[in-house]
Amino acid sequence: MDFDPPFQETYKALLPNSISSTTTNDNKLFVVEEYELPLIDLSHLMSPHQKEKEMCIQNIVDAASNWGFFEVENHGIPEEVLKSMSYEQKKVFHQPFQDKSQTNVLNSSPNCYRWGNPKATCLNQLSWSEAFHISVTDILGMTNNEYKSLRLAMEKFAKRAFGLAKNLAHILAENLGLKSTYFQENCPPNSSYLRLNRYPPCPYSSKLQMFGLVPHTDSDFLSVVYQDQVGGLQLFKDGRWVAVKPNPEALVINIGDLFQALSNGVYKSIRHRVVASNSEKERFSAAYFYCPISDAIIESCSHGQSTVAVYRNFTFREYKRQIQKDVQDTGDKVGLQRFLLSY
């Protein structure tokens, strides 16, 4: 397709010469168990019965602590907002590659369009996907009228995802005994990011273990992910990779590095990845990253005097810079462990 990025040409040196001659790896090696994540019905938060509400809060806290990942239904984001996000997302990715890859295609931030991994030196560093990664500030600043309907869809999705993320963050913070205004002060609506992902069909998927997105943790407080029904998202749980079964009614929520640090390790920022397991179907997802302003200080809450902080204090700016530097120097983001007091 002329809208697919030129993966095969660009990564020729890493890919086998011909697909048919590739020795088939044992396919069973790629098969991982499919899990249903904890599914939380958020309508219970509005329940007139205090017990039901408390139980729902406890389920959120438990899922963030034990899994770092969960799904929510009755989440309050209207279906038409999600549908129009999907429609516009598909439309922008189905433009010719040449158009998408112009440096400032959306008239927002330059280079918000990304694909593959220019630094990959072996196949397991390659992400077989393309993405628009854009801050909410830059969405609001998009001036190109050609993308007006995309801008409106992103704005609406970001606004609703913000409301959801803020409520979940508040619940999780309250459980830690954190100052109730922390997120209000540090996470205004415009400091977050949106990432629209497209995973093109991958012709090598039945022969080789290929990633749509290489294993990573998210560098935010929490992420709200809207995925289609194709599947491919996996997370590392109890020492092995497990596949997340897509649920059309639900959104995926995952804890990011900043909440792990803020909670002093109580909430878990779990490694996850997307496998490029489909040679025929493309896959789409939209991720909303709930982030603070750059000056926000992330201070491990150490539950009174009894527990010692595990991470040193840092600002979000410092975190982003360190990640950028580590990715440049080592190809890996390293992440939170750099900020361990025992590092």
In the set 151, 195, 198, 283, the catalytic residue is 283
Which residues in the 232-271 window bind ligand AKG by CB under 6 A? 233
- In the shown chain, the binding pattern of residues 149 to 188 toward ligand AKG, with x for contact by CB under 6 A and - for none, equals ----------------------------------------
Find out whether 221 and 257 touch, Cβ atoms under 8 Å.
no
For residue 81, the partner it binds in ligand AKG, Fe ion, none, with Cβ less than 5 to 8 A by kind, is none
Q: E-assigned strands of the chain?
A: 34-35, 39-41, 69-73, 113-115, 130-135, 193-199, 211-216, 222-227, 233-237, 240-244, 251-255, 272-275, 283-290, 297-298, 314-315
283 labelled catalytic: yes
Residues forming the site for Fe ion (CB under 5 A) = 218
| Amino acid identity, position 229 | Q
Q: Out of 287, 291, 323, 336, which residue is the one contacting ligand AKG (CB under 6 A)?
A: 287
Q: How far is the CB of 272 from Fe ion (least distance, A)?
A: 6
Residue 167: which region, alpha, beta or left (left: phi > 0; alpha: psi -120 to 50)? alpha
Q: Name the one range near ligand AKG by CB under 6 A: 42-50, 178-186, 225-233, 263-271.
A: 225-233
For residue 301, the partner it binds in Fe ion, ligand AKG, none, with Cβ less than 5 to 8 A by kind, is none
Sequence-distant (6+) residues with CB within 8 A of 338 are 322, 326
Give the number of residues in contact with ligand AKG, rule: CB under 6 A. 11
Q: How far is the CB of 274 from ligand AKG (least distance, A)?
A: 5
DSSP 57-104: HHHHHHHHHHTSEEEEES-S--HHHHHHHHHHHHHHHTS-HHHHTSTT
Within 10 angstroms of residue 124's Cβ, the number of other Cβ atoms is: 13
For residue 237, the partner it binds in ligand AKG, Fe ion, none, with Cβ less than 5 to 8 A by kind, is none
Residues that bind ligand AKG (CB under 6 A): 195, 197, 213, 218, 225, 227, 233, 272, 274, 285, 287
Q: List, by residue number, the catalytic residues.
A: 283
